[in-house]
Structure 1
Amino acid sequence: MTAPAGRAEDGRTTATTDPATDRNPTPDTDVVALLMAQHGQIRNLFDEVEQSSGDARRDAFRRLVRLLAVHETAEEEAVHPYVKRTADGGDDIVADRLGEEKAAKQALSALDGMDVEDEAFLPRLLSLRTDVMEHARAEERYEFSQLRRLNDPTRLAAMAKAVKAAEGTAPTHPHPGVESGAANAVLGPMAAVVDRTRDAVRKALGKDG
């Protein structure tokens, strides 16, 4: 007997190419799953920086800086506008997250200019980690939960595609003050990077995204 679509003959759920019927969201098909996975990667990189030294710490910190920069830019360009437009209390939710992101990027920028062997580096990193993890938990509680309530798997899949597109064009170093398009007018070359990111998001989401 032929198994139902999305089911193997032994009853196990199989992968499906239709995000609207995907009961097991993955980072490729669901923006919440993608961003949650990135939160896990960020936690792991903080661990790696803390537990290493010398060149290994420098390498791990470079990767942490890049991941934080592209993660936040992708959220700012692809996720926050949709939450602000559609979620209950979206304006306040997004305003709070943008404030947290700006403060974290300022702290990250300061760390980015330090030697990782400086005695002040690790205490500042630990302080940043606390702030970043609190921010991640707030996103998960107040923003990602709203995305789940919207219950639109097709839109969540499109947003995952948009986040990936944004990551490909996002800045690889933190730039405090670039939390909204309104701040871009006087930023010169950085504005061009943000414009490319926005263009990539719009292309991935379509003209109505």
Structure 2
Amino acid sequence: MGHGGNVIDELMTDHREVEEIFGKIEALPSGGKNRKMYADQATMELVRHSVAEEAYLYPAVRKHVAGGGALADKELEDHAKAERIMKDLESCEPDDARFDALMASLMSEIRMHVEDEEQNLFPRLRAACPPDALDDLGDKVRQAKKTAPTRPHPAAPDKPPANKMLAPGAGLVDRLRDALTGRGKPD
């Protein structure tokens, strides 16, 4: 969380980190207890990443990229699908019959979303947005991830200004819950 560089470099590093967690999940046998810990870690990273994108990346895409409104709306739809899957996954233990199916669905959804962003959205934004603006967005995304929620909140607003006002409060509550329960940490 918080790697440095412009917004595209920052978000691509996040993508690699989540893919690494997915690889750990895939390497474990079905029902393995550590699968839940890694699923929680993936969810925590994905939620922070998504909140930051929704607050800063997608408004910049709308502003700078031709046809950016439709592009941002499509990405928000992807986030909504992933968030619903993560919400369902949150209540599953690794030996639950739904866990593997939900995890496979989440990984598929995220991998398609990442490919779309990296092959389509990021190159278009890089071409349309000045380098100093990309650097500034990187700083804003890093700051947003520090206070963002760590649990899925499908009913929460996903567009400014409401998302920017509500996310830090939800993030504080989520981080307190995570600390009290040890969520995402080895037993």
Q: TM-score, normalised by structure 1?
A: 0.72
Match of 1:6?
none
Match of 2:45?
67
Three-state SS of the structure 2 residue aligned to 1:146 is helix
> Cα distance, 1:142 vs. partner?
2.6
In structure 1, how many angstroms separate the alpha carbons of the residues matched to 2:74 and 2:22? 23
Distance 1:161 1:191, change over 3 A: closer
What are structure 2's unaligned runs of at least 5 residues?
172-187
Distance 1:181 1:155, change over 3 A: closer
Q: Among all aligned residue pairs of Structure 1 and Structure 2, give the percentage whose two residues are the same amino acid.
A: 26
Query: In the alignment, is the contact (CA less than 8 A) between 1:177 and 1:183 conserved in 2?
Result: no
Three-state SS of the structure 1 residue aligned to 2:107 is helix
1:41 counterpart (10, 17, 24): 17
Query: In the alignment, is the contact (CA less than 8 A) between 1:32 and 1:144 conserved in 2?
Result: yes
Three-state SS of the structure 2 residue aligned to 1:114 is coil
Higher relative contact order (CA 8 A, sep 6+): 2
Three-state SS of the structure 1 residue aligned to 2:5 is coil
State the number of aligned residues: 166
In structure 2, how many angstroms separate the alpha carbons of the residues matched to 1:59 and 1:124? 15
More displaced stretch, 123-132 vs 173-182? 173-182
Larger Rg: 1
Query: In the alignment, is the contact (CA less than 8 A) between 2:64 and 2:129 conserved in 1?
Result: no
In structure 2, how many angstroms separate the alpha carbons of the residues matched to 1:144 and 1:181? 20
Distance 1:160 1:106, change over 3 A: same
Flag as ranges the 4+ runs of structure 1 deviating above 3 A. 181-184, 194-197
Match of 1:165?
143
Distance 1:153 1:196, change over 3 A: farther
Query: In the alignment, is the contact (CA less than 8 A) between 1:111 and 1:121 conserved in 2?
Result: yes
In structure 1, how many angstroms separate the alpha carbons of the residues matched to 2:165 and 2:162? 9
1:98 counterpart (53, 67, 76): 76
Match of 2:108?
130
Deviations 1:155-205 (A, max 9, x none): 111111111100001000011133224776xxxxx96335798xxxxxxxx
Deviations 1:35-64 (A, max 9, x none): 111111111111112223544222212211
> Cα distance, 1:32 vs. partner?
0.6
Q: TM-score, normalised by structure 2?
A: 0.80
Bigger helix share: 2
The amino acid across from 2:123 in the alignment is S
Match of 1:56?
34
In structure 2, how many angstroms separate the alpha carbons of the residues matched to 1:92 and 1:177? 21
What are structure 1's unaligned runs of at least 5 residues?
1-26, 185-189, 198-209
In structure 2, how many angstroms separate the alpha carbons of the residues matched to 1:192 and 1:99? 20
Query: In the alignment, is the contact (CA less than 8 A) between 1:80 and 1:94 conserved in 2?
Result: yes
The amino acid across from 1:180 in the alignment is K
Query: In the alignment, is the contact (CA less than 8 A) between 1:93 and 1:142 conserved in 2?
Result: no
1:180 counterpart (159, 169, 179): 159
